[in-house]
Structure 1
Amino acid sequence: MTVVLELRHARVRYGPLEALHAITLAAPGPGLTVLLGRNGSGRTTVLRALAGIVPLSGGAVLWDGTDVTRVPAFERARRGLCLVPERQAVFGSLTVRENLDLAAPAPDLALDAYPQLKPLLARRAGTLSGGEQRMLALSRALLARARVVLVDEPAQGMSPTVAARTYELLGSLDACVVVAEQRLPPVPHGRTALVYELRRGAVVFSGEAAELERPARGTAADRRRPRPGTSPSG
């Protein structure tokens, strides 16, 4: 797999608060990368920095080895980046069908992925449950056929069965997929996932998902000791 997106020594500030402390990470494509951490760990800020929604106060964003730090969000979207935020990811005043039509004229792929949406096509998206809205938002991302897909908590509000299906779909994409989660998600069978665990704006672990799932050898601190190229915990 080839590295598609990178953050190099990236810093992000919200006023006087520094949310990311010189983070370095790389996301391959095609492939699944998981940003793991609690609320306030910085995982959502990483997605926003990759998408160009928040500016860096230091460091760089690279796409296919090219520095895109100063490339605005709309231009990154034109180049094939799709961001699915945690909130306001659908157009609430439009129907489910209208939301899908904005992404592609033939939404059959999305309805095959999430058949639960078929009886809801005439409903306004704002009236759907949280899990249904996530399915709709992810359906739009699937239809976009993006080169880079960034998703904040993709399975939020979904049943375990639908959540597993969602990760099967994300894992099958021919794209660089980066997701932010509070807990390690189900990794599709036969696939690997690269995991970066964040804490207080710093990377405290990087490796494959299987390494976090194995029985601990040594202390928890040993397992989460940053690898070369990652930031120390703050």
Structure 2
Amino acid sequence: MTLSLRHARVRYGPLEALHGVTLAAPGRGVTVLLGRNGSGRTTVLRALAGTVPLSGGAVVWDGVDVTRMPAFERARRGLCLVPERRAVFGSLTVRENLDLAASEPTAAPGPAAAHDLALAAYPQLKPLLTRRAGTLSGGEQRMLALSRALLAHARVVLVDEPAQGMSPLVAARTYELLGSLDACVIVAEQRLPPALIGRPAFVYELRRGAVVFAGEAGEWRRRDRR
């Protein structure tokens, strides 16, 4: 299984955010999209998820062109997008957010099992179960959002800055969890996460809406040091 963009172009009004981007992520493992703000990495995730339309090119999933497939249908088929912001239901409690994840067709069997899985991944959430998600810190909200993604048992997981607001220890745990998934995982980051140094990962670096590097993480680090 692979998920790819082929010569993808995305426009926001008169501005073109992606200029013919081509990239591919394997069916299992972590692919990293690197780039500064405005580089196009978030737009790549949205294009793959179907939340922004392409003005040119294609999205191909398992060899099938899904460019015209709506976002809800991609989600139904096993794609999970965790955006940088508004990734949780702020008016609901942590427990209620997890209950919603447990109600998904592919999720763990029942709320109790969902809670157990989420708390095993992030024990820090246990004393927060009755808190409204909107009152959590940024790092706590990221843990909750990622817990919901883990519970979905998705085939494709797209995450924009997964470790934002987390301590180095929790960030390392987060990448350990993402790397252990039997899924195609694509993350967008400004810098190569320390937790991925020395681990197998493929890197695409974007700059001004175009791919300027594609290769293994170790190769990118050697290039970046020059």
What's the TM-score, normalizing by structure 2?
0.93
Q: Deviations over 1:83-127 (max 9, x none)?
A: 000000000000000001111122211100100000000000000
Q: Tell me the distance in 2 between the aligned counterparts of 1:5 and 1:178.
A: 10
Q: Deviations over 1:171-200 (max 9, x none)?
A: 000000000000001345874100000000
1:142 and 2:143 correspond: no
Q: Tell me the distance in 2 between the aligned counterparts of 1:167 and 1:69.
A: 29
| 3-state secondary structure, aligned to 2:194 | coil
In structure 2, what residue type is equivalent to 1:42? G
Once the two structures are superposed, the pairs formed by residues 1-234 of structure 1 within 5 Å of their partners are: 2=1, 4-104=2-102, 105=111, 106=113, 107-188=115-196, 191-214=199-222
For structure 1, which runs of at least 5 residues remain unmatched after alignment? 221-234
Deviation of the 1:214 alpha carbon? 2.6
| 3-state secondary structure, aligned to 2:38 | coil
Deviation of the 1:216 alpha carbon? 6.2
Q: Tell me the distance in 1 between the aligned counterparts of 2:134 and 2:26.
A: 34
For structure 2, which runs of at least 5 residues remain unmatched after alignment? 103-110
In structure 2, what residue type is equivalent to 1:119? P
Corresponding residue number in structure 1 for 2:107: none
Q: Tell me the distance in 2 between the aligned counterparts of 1:199 and 1:187.
A: 23
What's the TM-score, normalizing by structure 1?
0.89
Count, aligned residues: 216
Aligned-residue sequence identity (percent) comes to 86
Using a 3 Å threshold, how does the CA distance of structure 1 residues 212 and 134 change in structure 2: closer, same or farther? same
| 3-state secondary structure, aligned to 1:214 | helix
Using a 3 Å threshold, how does the CA distance of structure 1 residues 215 and 41 change in structure 2: closer, same or farther? closer
Deviation of the 1:29 alpha carbon? 1.4
Q: Tell me the distance in 1 between the aligned counterparts of 2:91 and 2:122.
A: 21
Higher percent of residues as helix: 2
In structure 1, what residue type is equivalent to 2:193? P
Q: Tell me the distance in 1 between the aligned counterparts of 2:119 and 2:42.
A: 28
Q: Tell me the distance in 2 between the aligned counterparts of 1:62 and 1:36.
A: 21
| Paired residues of 1:171 and 1:188 also in contact (CA < 8 A) | no
Q: Tell me the distance in 1 between the aligned counterparts of 2:18 and 2:136.
A: 34
RMSD across aligned positions (CA) = 1.4
Q: Tell me the distance in 2 between the aligned counterparts of 1:168 and 1:186.
A: 11
